[in-house]
Chains A and B, each alone.
Chain A
Amino acid sequence: MKVRIFVTYKQSVFDPQGETIKDAIHTLGHEEVEAVTVGKFFDVTFADGASDVETSVKQIADQLLVNFNMETYDYQVMGD
């Protein structure tokens, strides 16, 4: 089973890359774009039959992938 974990800055944390990319998008002519958030994702593949995958995902995110001082995360079960 594959799980995609998305990590981004918290909304309250200024994201300079996102701002710069938004400016570039405006330069392209897409003035309708209001905000861009840059993040990263991790595709984590679990062995067949692994139990309680979502608990594992939370532990991995909490203890390694996310720095909760500035970041937050979400995840999506991608299936096999």
Chain B
Amino acid sequence: MKIAVIVFPGSNCDRDLFNAVNDLGGVAEFVSHRATSLAGYSAVLIPGGFSYGDYLRAGAIARFAPVMTEVIRLAKAGYPVFGTCNGFQILTEAGLLPGALKQNLSQRFVCKTVALEVTNNRTPFTSHYQAHQRIDLPIAHADGCFFADQETLDRLEDNGQVAFRYAGENPNGSLNNIAGVTNAAGNVLGMMPHPERAVAAVLGNTNGQPLFESLFATLQEAH
């Protein structure tokens, strides 16, 4: 069960995702943005970074990369697709997730560890967390203010599509304190925090581990 880590020009968290998966017992491989097939992969991870220099809007150009046609095909077919930080921005720009990520309310790049609530632990990525579990994860972004119109927000809340919420300070002005959302089907998750940076005890935080363990369990069940 191979997991694809997509590498765009300007991705800079691809190796963190790759290491997180492989260190926790999964099998990840890097896949170029130029790839035209994702055959053989059971899940897709889209890393953080500054794909295409954040030109136009964060994530706006990445959606035109050849590999995205395949990412969209897999997402629509129900495969687990996950994006963190710039990956979240790319998934919203590609129309796979609702809403958009605006510039932080503070207009500053924010790099710190924040408190989160696992709002929905019934997704392919969060099943190994407890319901409403409080966790800490690092964030590092300038454009992380989740925005959607009221109708969309209401729909997300009603459908349980809010997977993670900021539980302490809201670091970027996100509406409803939203840190991560899924699509309506639940198989696509995007979040601004970086679980892949919190998987090693030696680095002082393992709160990201259950996300990858949830994904592995999902893939094993599907197998």
Q: Which residues of A are at the interface with B, using a C-beta cutoff of 8 A?
A: 12-14, 16-17, 20, 64-65, 67, 69-70
A66 to B: closest C-beta gap in Å: 9
List residues of chain B with CB within 8 A of the CB of A69.
92, 98-100, 147-149, 152
**With A13-B102, A13-B147 given, is the CB distance from A67 to B107 under 8 Å?**
no
Give the secondary structure class of A's interface. Answer: loop
A48 to B: closest C-beta gap in Å: 27
Give the secondary structure class of B's interface. Answer: loop
Chain A CB within 8 A of B14 CB: no
B141 to A: closest C-beta gap in Å: 15
Q: Can you list 11 contacts pairing A with B, beta carbon distance less than 8 Å?
A: A12-B149, A13-B147, A14-B173, A16-B105, A65-B56, A67-B57, A67-B93, A69-B92, A69-B99, A69-B152, A70-B147
B60 in contact with A67 (CB, 8 Å)? yes
Residue among B57, B92, B173 with max Cβ neighbours from chain A (10 Å): B57
A16 in contact with B147 (CB, 8 Å)? no
